[in-house]
C-alpha cells in the first residue's frame, strides 16, 4: 500500500536546493571578482608605464628638433605635429603632464 504523500509529490527542486545553488554561485562569483581585481590594477599600471615611456620619447624628439621643452599640458606636441591628440588621458582619469624640473612626463593621478 502506497502512502498518500507519494502521490502528491511533484518533480522539481525544493526551495532548500535552490538556495544552496544560489549560495554556491555567489561564493564562486566573489572568488572570481577577488582574483580579477588585482590583475586589472596591474594592467592599468603597465599601460600607464608604457604611455609615459612613449610620451617621454616624443618629448625628447621634440626637444632635439625644436630646441625647447613642450608646455606643461603637452598641447604643443599636437600643435607641432608630434602627437595626434591635444591632451593625453591616463588610465586613471586625468591627463599626463610635463614636469619642467625633471624634463619628464608624469602622471599625477596615479595612486
Whose grid coordinates read 625633471?
A: 102
pLDDT in tens, 15-43: 999 999 999 999 999 999 888 888 988 99
Is the four-CA dihedral 84, 90, 94, 100 of positive or negative sign?
Answer: negative
Distance CA 50, CA 44 (A): 10
Per-residue model confidence (pLDDT) at position 12: 82
pLDDT in the model for residue 5: 57
Please tell me the predicted confidence (pLDDT) of residue 111: 77
Residue numbers of the chain with a pLDDT score lower than 50: none
Residue 9 vs residues 3, 6, 14, 55: alpha-carbon distances, Å: 11, 6, 11, 71
Amino acid at each position: 500500500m502506497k502512502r498518500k504523500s507519494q502521490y502528491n509529490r511533484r518533480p522539481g527542486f525544493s526551495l532548500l536546493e535552490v538556495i544552496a545553488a544560489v549560495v554556491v554561485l555567489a561564493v564562486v562569483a566573489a572568488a572570481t571578482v577577488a582574483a580579477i581585481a588585482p590583475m586589472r590594477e596591474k594592467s592599468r599600471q603597465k599601460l600607464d608605464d608604457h604611455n609615459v615611456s612613449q610620451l617621454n620619447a616624443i618629448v625628447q624628439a621634440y626637444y632635439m628638433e625644436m630646441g625647447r621643452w613642450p608646455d606643461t599640458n603637452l598641447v604643443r606636441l599636437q600643435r607641432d605635429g608630434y602627437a595626434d591628440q591635444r591632451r593625453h588621458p591616463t588610465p586613471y582619469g586625468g591627463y599626463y603632464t610635463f614636469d619642467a624640473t625633471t624634463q619628464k612626463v608624469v602622471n599625477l593621478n596615479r595612486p
